[in-house]
């Protein structure tokens, strides 16, 4: 993957967009973590901001950095303040890279490397503006990485069959320092589904969302508003 310095530049660039009074969706992963750390520094310096974490991990980091938190349900409920901007990473971003028009690909993303994409999508979609933070290794003209799919444990066989029907190859995500499969913060399992190059991410997104047993999938189509890409000399910001 990209260097940590590039991830840091991207994360800090997005964190600079937070203004006084903002409610900020706090994404998951190492790139979003840089944004959370920078936001913590700005809160220490007097910024009035509240965070909505997207995972146990991002909640822990935000708490450690002294960022006041607001419950997701409270934030996006009818009497809530809403989410002004969400900052989150991605496993792959459909951009043409330096110098090309992003509008052709609409900034579609594959997320879910951290198995946090169910709550991430809720937060990222609810936000007025969703800022993606990435390094160049995440950019590709077309999405072609496996798509993580969070499934109800009881539905994993049915979902695997539906994924094959849709042309994908599902693999149950194994844990590292634990026997057996990864279990998400929501108590579900993850199928990593290889579909090859995605000709129509929106269509596949709809198919997966309509599959019984699917809790959430990692295709984020039409959600990103800005892509902050850390480079070795600075940050490139693409408006979607």
Least CB distance to ligand DER at residue 110 (A) = 8
Nearer to ligand DER (CB atom), residue 116 or residue 131: 116
Least CB distance to ligand DER at residue 91 (A) = 4
Nearer to ligand DER (CB atom), residue 45 or residue 64: 64
171 is in an annotated binding site: no
Nearer to ligand DER (CB atom), residue 93 or residue 101: 93
Name the site residues for ligand DER (rule: CB under 6 A): 1, 27-32, 88-91, 111-114, 116-117, 120
Residues 122, 127: Cα–Cα separation, whole Å: 9
Extract the tokens encoding 181. 């499969």
Pick the catalytic residue from 60, 98, 101, 120.
Answer: 120
Residues 109, 143: Cα–Cα separation, whole Å: 7
28 is in an annotated binding site: yes
CB 133 within 8 A of CB 194: no
Q: What spatial distance separates the first Cα and last Cα of the chain, rounded to whole Å? A: 23
Least CB distance to ligand DER at residue 121 (A) = 9
Least CB distance to ligand DER at residue 134 (A) = 7
120 counts as catalytic: yes
Nearer to ligand DER (CB atom), residue 112 or residue 168: 112
88 is in an annotated binding site: yes
234 is in an annotated binding site: no
138 is in an annotated binding site: yes
Beta bridge partners of 228: 133, 237
Residues 63, 42: Cα–Cα separation, whole Å: 14
CB 191 within 8 A of CB 159: yes
Number of H helices, E strands in the chain: 7, 14
**Helix (H) or strand (E) segment spanning residue 31:** helix 30-44
* Known binding positions for substrate: 28-31, 88-91, 111-114, 138
Q: Which amino acids are annotated catalytic?
A: 120
């Amino acid at each position: 993957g990209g260097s940590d310095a590039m991830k840091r530049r991207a994360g800090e660039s997005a964190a600079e967009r937070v203004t006084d009074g903002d409610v900020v969706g706090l994404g998951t992963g190492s790139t979003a973590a840089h944004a959370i750390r920078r936001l913590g520094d700005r809160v220490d310096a007097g910024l009035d901001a509240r965070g909505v974490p997207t995972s146990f991990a991002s909640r822990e980091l935000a708490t450690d950095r002294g960022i006041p938190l607001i419950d997701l349900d409270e934030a996006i409920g009818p009497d809530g303040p809403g989410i002004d901007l969400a900052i989150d990473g991605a496993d792959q971003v459909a951009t043409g890279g330096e110098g090309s028009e992003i509008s052709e690909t609409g900034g579609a993303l594959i997320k879910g490397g951290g198995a946090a994409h169910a709550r991430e999508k809720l937060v990222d979609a609810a936000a007025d503006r969703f800022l993606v933070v990435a390094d160049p290794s995440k950019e590709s003209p077309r999405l072609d990485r496996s798509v993580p799919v969070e499934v109800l444990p009881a539905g994993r066989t049915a979902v695997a069959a539906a994924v094959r029907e849709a042309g994908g190859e599902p693999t149950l995500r194994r844990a590292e320092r634990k026997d057996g499969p990864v279990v998400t913060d929501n108590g579900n399992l993850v199928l990593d589904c290889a579909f090859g190059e995605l000709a129509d991410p929106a269509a596949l997104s709809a198919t997966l969302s309509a599959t019984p047993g699917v809790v959430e999938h990692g295709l984020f189509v039409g959600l990103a508003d800005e892509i902050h890409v850390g480079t070795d000399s600075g940050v490139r910001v693409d408006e979607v």
